Amino acid sequence: MNPTLSHMRVVITGASGGIGHAIAARFAAGGADLCLVGRSASSLNSIRAAPGPLKSKICVLACDLDKDDDLSELHTFIEARLGGLDVLIHSAGVIALAPLATVSAAEMDRHYRINVRAPLILTQSLLPLLRSSRGQIVFINSSVGVRAKEQTGAYAASKHALKALADTFRMELNAVGIRVVSVFPGNTATPMQQHICASLEKPYVPQWMLQPDDVARAVVDALLMPRTAEVTDIHLRPALKPPQ
């Protein structure tokens, strides 16, 4: 039987906007049962209100992944609302640009806490549910997670660390039937990318970038692969090149 999204129990962090929001919308349209996590409750609720061909059970939780109390509440909330878990998608993240020569320790710590520590703690807490379902974990990384760029040192270091987490979880959890995939998008037309362009004083031209739904589709396709295969790493780049 081919797997489908219908009634798949899915948790998505960073679902308030950008790639996380697009992934949530695609799962909702497919009839998955969702727990959407982000900082903006109104943005999360907009997915629940969107028209779709199938009815999903969607619950939302506005929380700050930098706070341990919020992470603990999230585990309890997921177990109570979904009753189990098939897919955990880590899409939340922060970025601040600065040369490594001047980046502050506080900013470095913030990148670590949101981009590395929170996914680790949340994955650890939800592993019993994922083990029971032989579930799947998705880490939305970045192209700088494999190739650093100037002024992205703190962010790139956190994304390199996130890749290490995903690779290690895969080696440790494949034996119990859990699949783990990392996704490395290039420039994507999101509010985060718009902020980056503004910080670098570069034009933000979304039509020459990946679209959030491009990434969402790749994620869904990977998760629906038959169990005879595992997609481990997805690298996506914009196909169109801006005129010189």
Asked if pLDDT for residue 47 goes beyond 50, the answer is yes
pTM: 0.93
92 and 37 in contact (C-beta within 8 Å)? yes
Q: Which pLDDT score is estimated for 1?
A: 40
Q: How many domains does the chain have?
A: 1
Token pair of 28 as six digits: 């909702």
- DSSP designation for 107: H
Domain of 119 in residue numbering reads as 9-229
What's 218's domain CATH number? 3.40.50.720
Asked if pLDDT for residue 241 goes beyond 80, the answer is no
Helices 41-49 and 18-29: angle between axes, nearest 10 degrees: 30
| Average pLDDT of span 120-132 | 95
Q: Which pLDDT score is estimated for 243?
A: 64
Tell me if 201 is assigned to some domain.
yes
**1: Cβ–Cβ under 8 A, 6 or more apart, which residues?**
none
Tell me if 244 is assigned to some domain.
no
H or E element at residue 37: strand 33-38
Q: Assess whether 155 carries a catalytic annotation.
A: yes
The b-or-e profile of 208-218 (16+ CB within 10 A means b, else e) is: ebbbbebbbeb
H or E element at residue 215: helix 212-223
Token pair of 163 as six digits: 């890749």
Average pLDDT, the chain: 91
Tell me if 21 is assigned to some domain.
yes
Tell me if 51 is assigned to some domain.
yes
Which residue is catalytic, options 27, 77, 155, 169?
155
pLDDT per residue over 153-207, tens digit each?
A: 999 999 999 999 999 999 999 999 999 999 999 998 888 888 888 888 888 888 9
- DSSP designation for 9: E
Tell me if 3 is assigned to some domain.
no
pLDDT per residue over 72-115, tens digit each?
A: 888 888 888 999 999 999 999 999 899 999 999 999 999 999 99
